[in-house]
Chains A and B, each alone.
Chain A
Amino acid sequence: MGAQSESSESTEHTPSSDFAKEVAAEPGGEGINKCIQCGICTASCVVSSASEKYRPRQLIQKIILGKREEVLKSDIPWLCMTCRMCEERCQEDVSPAEIFQAVRHIAAREGHIPEVFKSTVEKVLEDGWMLADAYSDFIEDDREDLGLDTDLAWDSEFTKKVKDKYFKGEDAK
Chain B
Amino acid sequence: MKDLFLYVGCTTPVRLSAYEAATKAVLRNLGIELYDMKDANCCGAQYVESINRTAFAAMGARILALAERFEKDILAICGACSGSLKHNKHLLDTEPDLKAEVNELLKEEDLEYTGKVEVKHLLQVLRDDVGYDAISRAVVQPYNGIRLAAHYGCHVTRPYDIVQVDDPEVPRVIDDIIEICGAQAVDYAGKTRCCGGPLLAMDEDVANVIGREKVDNVKAVGAHGIVTACVFCNIQLTQVQFGEGSAGRDRIPVLTLPQFMGAAMGIDEDTLGIPLNKIRPTVLLEFMHRIESKALHREQEAKR
Contacts and interface: CB of A to CB of B under 8 A. Distances in A.
A104 B51 contact: yes
Give the interface size class of chain B. Answer: 35 or more
Interface string B22-49: 0010000000000010111110101111
Interface stretch (B131-139, B151-159, B284-292): B151-159
Given A84-B154, A121-B51, A130 B10 contact: yes
A37 interface: no
A81 B154 contact: yes
A76 B8 CA distance: 31
Interface in A135-154: 135, 139, 142-143, 145-149, 152-154
Given A85-B154, A95-B159, A131-B10, A116 B202 contact: yes
B164 interface: no
Contacts of B193: 46, 83, 85
B269 to A, nearest CB: 12
B169 A88 contact: yes
Contact of A153 (B39, B59, B62, B192): B39
B192 A121 contact: no
A161 B206 CA distance: 36
Interface stretch (B12-20, B140-148, B177-185): B12-20
B14 A165 contact: no
B115 to A, nearest CB: 19
B50 A131 contact: no
B210 A47 contact: yes
Q: Pick the most buried of B58, B206, B271, B276: most chain A CB atoms within 10 A of its CB.
A: B206
B52 A166 contact: yes
A159 B17 CA distance: 24
Contacts of A148: 13, 17, 20-21, 24
Interface string A30-49: 00000000000000001100
B283 interface: no
Contacts, number: 165
A20 interface: no
A108 B202 contact: no
Given A116-B202, A117-B51, A166-B52, A82 B210 contact: no
Interface residues of A, number: 57
Contact of B210 (A50, A84, A155): A50
A147 B22 CA distance: 11
Contact of B51 (A53, A113, A129, A142): A113
Given A158-B62, A162-B59, A51 B21 contact: no
A50 B209 contact: yes
Given A83-B194, A131-B10, A105 B53 contact: yes
A124 to B, nearest CB: 5
B266 interface: no
B239 to A, nearest CB: 14
Given A47-B199, A124-B42, A130-B42, A149 B154 contact: no
24 contacts: A46-B210, A47-B199, A75-B202, A78-B202, A81-B194, A84-B159, A87-B158, A104-B51, A108-B50, A120-B47, A124-B42, A124-B47, A129-B10, A130-B47, A135-B13, A143-B17, A152-B13, A153-B36, A153-B39, A155-B39, A158-B62, A158-B109, A159-B42, A166-B54
Interface of A: 27-28, 46-47, 50-51, 53, 75, 78-79, 81-85, 87-88, 95, 101, 104-105, 108, 113-114, 116-117, 120-121, 124-125, 128-131, 134-135, 139, 142-143, 145-149, 152-156, 158-159, 161-162, 165-167, 170
